[in-house]
Structures are given as structure tokens and as C-alpha cells.
Copies of this chain bind each other. A is one copy, B any other.
Amino acid sequence: MDVVKTVAEMKARSRALASEGSVVGLVPTMGALHEGHLSLIRIASGLADVVVVSVFVNPTQFGPSEDFGRYPRDLEQDAALAEGAGCDVLFAPSVEEMYPSRFATVVHVQRMSQKLCGAFRPGHFDGVTTVVAKLFTIVRPAIAVFGQKDGQQVAIIERMSEDLDLGVEIIRGPTVREADGLAKSSRNAYLSREERSQAPVLYRALEHARALYEGGERNALKVVEAVEECVESDSDAELQFVAAVDSKTLEDLATLRPGAMIALAAFFGKTRLIDNVVLE
């Protein structure tokens, strides 16, 4: 596995791979790789000739009071894990490489970026779409794999990639969970022992929603309220939102149907966790 640290070198690699006719698969990450990321790398490895994993803690998707400074970073460990999962090229640019001094461009997806998490993290998805647009033009992948755990993010990136004719097929990798149901997340490391013991309530609540739906309940409001009650009665978590939306368009749903996503965000102490289920 090669490690590439400059945009110029990555572009040169992409050009060479394109001229060979190689199918390139990209897995964008912020590092701190866990089993969730590794599952995405394995998916890319099964679909592409060459797998590029980017590791870039993107400052523009963090709010001023968020955890950019303390976000976990360990490139050596990430490189070993990525290679083990099938990564061929690790692209790990510096902030200065990605955002030179006069950088001024923002890629914004209207409406979809401003609801759910976007309503509470202003500018977050602009940071995501801008850096992903850059990664797509630098790496020129045929496919890119994102986790369904960040369900709003992947829907927004699908929209952006299609709108800007980037020609990248977006693959959604299923959420990988701990044995007790907690979605794998680099931010789980922030949880205290007590918070960690309570955090699986999010998945239990979402599974309860799924069970209600499978039992015939179609009223989105009732299901959302059941999720809220489950989290609030079973934990000290502070819910930020629970919502029922279309998993592709993110439009609010009054009536549940296949493709509906029940998504939530909640704080355990200072740690913000998100999760979702998509109904079938």
C-alpha cells in the first residue's frame, strides 16, 4: 500500500489509473478507523480494481465549538488497518494541501443540508460536500462507499454527485454495530463508562420503531414519539431530534413506507451520537 500526501501526486496517480482503464473505488474517512470503515473498504475492494482510502480530518465540517482539535488522529494505525482491509492507496493530505491560502469555494446542497443534523450544525454539510467534491475530482473514482450510519450525509452526497455530473456511483455500506447494538463511531471513544452503558438505547429505540412498522403502524408521528419515549425513559440521553424522512430525498414523511429512514441524534453528556434505520 502506498501513502500519498499531496494533491499533485494523487492527481498524477488518478490520471495514470484512468489511462490504464482501472476502476477506482474511494472510501473517504476522517481516520480513527474502526470496523465500520473497514467494512466500507472491503466493499470497495470487492467492486474496484484499485481502492483509495482518504484520511483527512476536515476542519470545515466542524463547528467552532465542536471537536476538531481533539478528534482522534493516528495515521500509522489507520494505515495498518486500511491496508489489512484491502486499501491500495492511502491519501492523507494536510489541511494546507486541501485548502491553500486563497481557497474560497463552497459546494452547498440546498434544503437537504439544512434539516436534521444540518439544523443543529450550521455549515457542517457544506464542509462535507465541498471536501467530497474535491476528493472526487482529485481521485476520480468510479465508485465511492459511504456508511449508511451517516444517512443524511450519504443522501446529500448522492444529490451533489448527480447534480455536478461527477460520474461517481455512491454505494451505501450497512451500519456496523457493537454486540449490544451501538453503531460503531469514532466518537464512541469519548463516552464515559456510564454513558457507554446507556448508549445502546438508541438502537433499541430504532429497532422498536422498526417493529412497530413491521407490525403495521404507518403513522410517522406515532413512531417518532415512540422512539422519543423509549430513549427518554430508558436513559439520561438528551435527544436532539428524531425524524422520519425519505432516505434518498430526506423529505419529511407523514406516512411510513419502504425507504423511510427513522433518524435521530442524541447527547450522552457532551458526546453527540447519531443513528438511523431504513424501513423495508
Which residues on A are within 8 Å of B, measured CB to CB? 7, 11, 18, 102-112, 129, 133-134, 137-138, 159-160, 163-167, 249
Which residues of B have CB within 8 Å of A163?
Answer: 103-105, 134
Between A and B, 17 residue pairs with Cβ closer than 8 Å are A11-B165, A18-B18, A103-B163, A104-B111, A104-B112, A105-B107, A105-B109, A105-B110, A105-B160, A105-B163, A106-B108, A106-B109, A107-B107, A107-B108, A134-B163, A137-B165, A137-B167
Q: CA–CA, A7 to B134, complex, Å?
A: 21
List 14 additional A-B contacts (Cβ < 8 Å) besides A105-B164, A106-B109. A18-B18, A102-B249, A103-B163, A104-B109, A104-B112, A105-B108, A105-B109, A105-B159, A106-B110, A107-B164, A133-B164, A134-B163, A137-B167, A138-B165
Which residues of B have CB within 8 Å of A129?
Answer: 105
| Nearest chain B CB to A105 CB, angstrom units | 4
The 4 residue pairs across chains A and B that have the minimum distance between CB atoms: A105-B163, A137-B165, A104-B110, A106-B108
| Nearest chain B CB to A104 CB, angstrom units | 4
Closest to A15 in B: B167
Q: CA–CA, A166 to B134, complex, Å?
A: 8
Which residues of B have CB within 8 Å of A165?
Answer: 7, 11, 134, 137-138
Q: CA–CA, A18 to B20, complex, Å?
A: 12
Closest to A134 in B: B165
| Nearest chain B CB to A156 CB, angstrom units | 9
Which residues of B have CB within 8 Å of A133?
Answer: 164
Closest to A105 in B: B163
With most chain B CB atoms within 10 A of its CB, the pick from A105, A134, A164 is A105
| Nearest chain B CB to A137 CB, angstrom units | 4
Q: CA–CA, A18 to B133, complex, Å?
A: 21
| Nearest chain B CB to A165 CB, angstrom units | 4
Q: CA–CA, A7 to B167, complex, Å?
A: 11
| Nearest chain B CB to A60 CB, angstrom units | 11
